[in-house]
Structure 1
Amino acid sequence: MSFLDKMSPRHMVLVCFILVASLASLQASPVKPVFKDHYHASGQIRLPYAEIIEPFEIFFQGPKNRSRMDTYSGMDKVYFRGDEKDYGNLYKISPATLKGIASLESCFLIPGEKGAPVMPQSMLPDLTGFTFLSGGLRNGQSVNLWQNKTTMTFFNQSRTSTYTFAVTTTTPPRPVQYRMMGFDSLLGSHFDEYIIDYDFYDEATAISDDIFSIPKNLTCAGFPGPGVEQKIKGNPMREMVNPEMGDRLHQLFDEYKQKYDKSYKTDLEHVQRKGHFTKNVRMIHSINRANLGYVLDINHMADQSHQELKRMRGRLRQTRPNNGLPYDGSDVSDDAVPDHIDWNVLGAVSPVKDQAVCGSCWSFGSAETIEGAVFMQSGKRVRLSQQMLMDCTWAAGNNGCDGGEEWRVYEWLMKNGGIPLEETYGPYLGQNGMCHYDKSKAVASIKKYYNVTSGNQKDLKKALATKGPIAVGIDAAVPSFSFYSYGTYYDASCGNTVDDLDHAVLAVGYGTDSSGQDYWLIKNSWSTHWGNNGYVAISMKDNNCGVATAATYVELEKN
């Protein structure tokens, strides 16, 4: 009699259950997916932090040591030619938006080096270290999920980067999604996230050699700009897809700290600042690859979080109508309005200042339009005191570093006498101070103030041409705005309603760029490290960012 013959029915059931469970366990651990060393794929890269979706297409030939990556439907192309010369060459072809010159397609060359050769970049992760997680559903497809977690510890607090790769359950497998999620145990929040969705994947069809050929009508020159950033721009996907190859952003962050003289109180703050910097740089480079007619750049604010940047936008939303008089442009004929004007060139505008991490923009916008009125009245350029407005106009409803409105400044000055010079009252502090206002030292007193017809760009042009620089509110909450460098800025998501206006600035002129776009010339208060020496050209299209929504200017008492 065999062993099985001796077993009771109850034991037989138990053995069958164990066998079924074992088989299920084997089925729940599929073989790690293996992809061919040549493929053609396309999809989107998503950066939730910046609300960016960047389309990509890749052609990869590992055996021939070459690949090509196109983004934004071929607007930007990168050729990885590891098969050229000793260490390979990287070519980047994209429209080069130059200051004052229309975009032209240009080719830049980054040669490989000993110890840093050019390698073909893939959009599939190296699955070494990944383990099976579970089955699931991604983008409407049944998938197997593979995951790798990397944890780094700082001061007994951990930062964990979780990489999850979803592939179809079919044979052969197809990539569906690759996602990185970073979690900070100290803050209890996610410090980083990006997602790659694969819409198309083909490893069966041969790829033509022509795909990897540089157009013959282009001459490829060296990539502009020193430092490691040029290499990151040339291959921005390496840190995303192949983090195991090292993080070049460490070096870029070191260069950034040196350039802007940055230092941090603790190692933990250093790690957090590096995280903000990484996300902001990734967004800057992605938007630049879209070639939108303006260019972003790394500036002194690149190590700040969204919340910190928000604190610099201190224009309060208008809760009730002000007492300003209407201005409809009826005093100026259309023929009398010039095609362009720049009050900075004409001498009416004081130097760009830095409001620091303080929501005091309202004091800059209002003081600077009064400076413009002084110039229009006397021909003299003056620097008036923003700090006095910060310290003293609380009774009018302003809140120092926590926000205010331009018209409330005008109301307070009309009741209390006027505004002094900066040198008389004292320098700007970047924080709230004690009011020590002395009416006898006021140099400009307001008789009345005006509201330019909301949304009427023709009326705003007339006001700018004849009344001088105008205080305006804008929507500065769009992430790209914080890193504007040059070009005519237009973002369809930049709001233009009264409720959208969260930042006060100064309109100093208008004009038309080399591509025919009409723009407003705006002076900001985020230092000369921001924008084009502190200025931005904002497109007039659709009243972008609300420049014409809530514009005000003052009329002074006669001396």
Structure 2
Amino acid sequence: MALSTFVLAVLVMSGAAAALGRELAGDGAAAAAAADVAMASRHEKWMAKHGKTYKDEEEKARRLEVFRANAKLIDSFNAAAEKDGGGGHRLATNKFADLTDDEFRAVRTGYQHPPAAAGGGFLYENFSLAAAPQSMDWRAMGAVTGVKDQGSCGCCWAFSAVAAVEGLAKIRTGQLVSLSEQELVDCDVRGEDQGCEGGLMDTAFQYIARRGGLAAESSYPYRGVDGACRAGAAAGRAAASIRGFQDVPSNDEGALMAAVARQPVSVAINGAGYVFRFYDRGVLGGAGCGTELNHAVTAVGYGTASDGTGYWLMKNSWGASWGEGGYVRIRRGVGREGACGIAQMASYPV
């Protein structure tokens, strides 16, 4: 082949390669643009579903970017779960999908880790697990009020404690009364409990015992903000009372099961991680959850899923649209601290 012919062939091939490169780059840009349009549309539909509005276009654009990052994380998790055989749990772009991690932690958790003085003894120390029912659901026993929503107030500790007291009152008196979280937010503000700024279930139990009971929600309704204390005559007569509380021995799921078999139990948990925050359905395992304690829920039962996985049934305080109607099933029997740290700091009223 003559040199001139060879050069010409090379030039032709180079031109074709360049053209192909430009075509592929164009296809990539088109795909990226299509993905952006699809994500913006997804965000618009999400806003309509959850009634979200923003003050201006700048804020909307910023929230779209947060939503995009969270949605990609959720989609990636679900795709991996499907690839692994479809077991475990699923995530969803729920009402928290346009919040950053820091924003979410500030308004939707609120458990303060430093413990109060331990409650003396463990009432169920000699309770035989062999005698415990294979499954327990205190909802079926009429000992659990409807799912509540703490809103943008970091008082999960109050909701956790109140749910445990509501359950014990039902067991002891036969009457299920929705009690006042707002009284705890407004009035239990000495020491570790600081309303929407966080608190601890044990000190909430101490307040209820010291005060002689807690008002009904109907006489002291929830407002989701810190307010002046109206306990006493203004809030009405106490609707339920306790003598005190006890702590479940730490890092012992057997002890936790013994307690939950007898009454609803307040539990500290890691609720800030994305696998918990965006939980939708299924049994949440330990992977990715972590054991940092920053949120509080109430253990209202336990059981076994259809695939044989043991789980804890937890009542949350993020509204009924979150998770399985406001509840989460967390894997049972995964190690010393428990999945998401559930076995570290649990307590119950007496």
Structure 2-normalised TM-score?
A: 0.86
Quote the residue 2:314 is aligned against. 522
1:471 and 2:260 aligned = no
Which deviates more, 530-539 or 442-451? 442-451
Quote the residue 2:9 is aligned against. none
Quote the residue 1:532 is aligned against. 324
- Of structures 1 and 2, the one scoring higher in RCO (CA 8 A, sep 6+) is 2
Task: Tell me the secondary structure at the aligned position of residue 157 of structure 2.
Answer: helix
Note if contact 1:276-1:303 (Cα within 8 Å) is conserved in structure 2.
yes
Quote the residue 1:227 is aligned against. none
Q: Percent identity?
A: 34
Counterpart-to-counterpart distance in 2, 1:36 and 1:501: 57
Quote the residue 1:254 is aligned against. 44
Note if contact 1:310-1:477 (Cα within 8 Å) is conserved in structure 2.
yes
Counterpart-to-counterpart distance in 2, 1:444 and 1:533: 26
Quote the residue 1:331 is aligned against. 126
Task: Tell me the secondary structure at the aligned position of residue 280 of structure 2.
Answer: strand
Note if contact 2:150-2:318 (Cα within 8 Å) is conserved in structure 1.
yes
Letter in 2 for 1:334: L
Pairwise CA distance, 1:515: 1.5
Task: Tell me the secondary structure at the aligned position of residue 300 of structure 1.
Answer: coil
Structure 1 stretches of 5 or more lacking a match?
1-30, 38-124, 130-237
1:297 and 2:297 aligned = no
1:242 and 2:31 aligned = yes
Q: Deviations over 1:386-414 (max 9, x none)?
A: 00100001114211111000011112222
Pairwise CA distance, 1:301: 1.3
Note if contact 2:101-2:272 (Cα within 8 Å) is conserved in structure 1.
no
Quote the residue 1:546 is aligned against. 341
Equivalent in 170, 193, 199 of residue 404 of structure 1: 199
Q: Deviations over 1:494-551 (max 9, x none)?
A: 233xxx1100100000011111111100010011111000000001222111112111
1:414 and 2:209 aligned = yes
Structure 1-normalised TM-score?
A: 0.55
Quote the residue 1:152 is aligned against. none
Pairwise CA distance, 1:308: 1.5
1:455 and 2:251 aligned = yes
1:379 and 2:174 aligned = yes
Q: Higher helix proportion, which one?
A: 2
Q: Residues 267, 322 of structure 1: CA spacing in aligned structure 2 closer, same or farther, 3 A cutoff?
A: same
Counterpart-to-counterpart distance in 2, 1:525 and 1:533: 11
Letter in 2 for 1:403: G
Note if contact 1:274-1:303 (Cα within 8 Å) is conserved in structure 2.
yes
Q: Residues 377, 256 of structure 1: CA spacing in aligned structure 2 closer, same or farther, 3 A cutoff?
A: same
Equivalent in 218, 226, 229 of residue 432 of structure 1: 226
Task: Tell me the secondary structure at the aligned position of residue 383 of structure 1.
Answer: coil
Quote the residue 2:160 is aligned against. 365
Counterpart-to-counterpart distance in 1, 2:306 and 2:57: 47
Pairwise CA distance, 1:493: 3.4
Note if contact 1:470-1:553 (Cα within 8 Å) is conserved in structure 2.
yes
Q: Deviations over 1:15-45 (max 9, x none)?
A: xxxxxxxxxxxxxxxx99x6998xxxxxxxx
Counterpart-to-counterpart distance in 2, 1:494 and 1:302: 17
1:349 and 2:139 aligned = no
1:442 and 2:234 aligned = no
Quote the residue 1:283 is aligned against. 73
Pairwise CA distance, 1:470: 0.5
Task: Tell me the secondary structure at the aligned position of residue 491 of structure 1.
Answer: coil
Quote the residue 2:53 is aligned against. 263
Letter in 2 for 1:399: Q
Q: Which runs of 4+ in 1 moved over 4 A?
A: 34-37
1:127 and 2:49 aligned = no
Note if contact 2:268-2:344 (Cα within 8 Å) is conserved in structure 1.
yes
Pairwise CA distance, 1:375: 0.7
Q: Deviations over 1:81-100 (max 9, x none)?
A: xxxxxxxxxxxxxxxxxxxx
Equivalent in 266, 278, 286 of residue 491 of structure 1: 286
Letter in 1 for 2:327: Y
Pairwise CA distance, 1:128: 5.1
Q: Residues 422, 321 of structure 1: CA spacing in aligned structure 2 closer, same or farther, 3 A cutoff?
A: closer
Q: Higher strand proportion, which one?
A: 1
Quote the residue 1:507 is aligned against. 299
Pairwise CA distance, 1:419: 0.5
Task: Tell me the secondary structure at the aligned position of residue 298 of structure 2.
Answer: strand
Q: Deviations over 1:34-65 (max 9, x none)?
A: 6998xxxxxxxxxxxxxxxxxxxxxxxxxxxx
Note if contact 1:326-1:453 (Cα within 8 Å) is conserved in structure 2.
no
